[in-house]
Amino acid sequence: MAALCLGLVGMAVVTDLTATDAGSAEAQPTAEVHKNAGRVADAQQAKASAERTERADALFERAVKSTEVASDLRVAAAELESRRRAADAEAAKQAAEQKAAEVKATSADRIAKAKAAAKAEKAAELAADREEVGTPTTTRASEPAAPAPSTGPSEAELAATAQQAADAKQAADTKTWMDAAKAKNDAAAASASAPVGEPWVSLAQCESSGDWAINSGNGYYGGLQFNLGTWRSYGGQGLPNDNSPAQQIEIAKRVQAKQGWGAWPACSRKIGLR
């Protein structure tokens, strides 16, 4: 009986030992699987992180390139704007020089015409003087003409003397006229070069683009666009555009004092004068 009990106990111990070895054998492959799965997951995370980093680098590089392109475009636009302004300034300079040349040519033509008229007038006067000197004195029919004294100057000498006097008078008159014309031109040039104050510069810029010598062809003249009726009724001489800016402004001040800024309705409102 005792032997039977010992045998049963031994079998139980062997069975437990066998079960324990089997469990250990099964547990060992399971741990390896978990370890491999962890390695795979780590590899996948590393790969995803690398891909994210690569995408971020690509986006950053693209942003840098876009910034560089935008900067280049801004530089190019600034350069184009600078060239455009330089071209506009050069065109304005050439237009001003051409206008000055036209004004100068017009003034020279007027002076030449005035000189020609003065010469013609003097020539007519000289011709009249010669006729007067060369006409013999009439006598009454009932009285014989007195004989010319033999010691007096001859008729040719009298004519030569008269011619010399006429030439001297013509030279003196011509010099006087030329001095007066030069003084007038100098005064006009000084007046034209004098600074023109506000608000007339802004008003002229609005009315005529600042062209004080413009003839618009629509009955209005000069930098402040006078019509002839207004110009002459306030003391203006000649055409407004033939006068200096200072002279045009002087007449404009008279108009403004009488009519107010409403004499230039659109532009005076545009530049804030009313």
Question: Averaged in consecutive runs of 10 residues, what is the pLDDT profile of the chain (274 residues)?
Answer: 51 50 56 83 90 90 82 84 87 85 76 76 72 46 47 72 84 80 59 64 95 93 96 95 96 96 95 90
Burial 180-211 (b: 16+ CB within 10 A, else e): eeeeeeeebeebbeeebeeebebbbebbbebb
Q: What is the reported pLDDT for 142?
A: 42
Please choose, from the candidates 259, 207, 215, 218, the residue with its C-alpha nearest in 3D space to the C-alpha of residue 239: 215
Q: Which residue has the tokens 């111990």?
A: 13
Q: Give the residue among 90, 93, 107 at the shortest CA–CA distance from 192.
A: 107
Question: Residue 219's pLDDT is what?
Answer: 93
pLDDT of residue 13: 44
Token pair 């971020």: residue: 56
Question: φ and ψ at 221, to 5 degrees?
Answer: -135, 150
Residue 147, classified by CB atoms within 10 Å of its CB into exposed (0-12), middle (13-18) or buried (19+), is exposed
Residue 252 contacts residue 198 (beta carbons within 8 Å): no
Backbone φ, ψ for residue 262 (5° rounding): -65, -10
List, in order, residues 6 or more apart from 158 with CB less than 8 Å away: 133
- C-alpha–C-alpha distance, residues 14 and 26, integer Å: 19
Please, which residues bridge with residue 226 across strands?
221
State the pLDDT at residue 165.
Answer: 85
Contact between residue 163 and residue 195 where contact means Cβ atoms under 8 Å apart: no
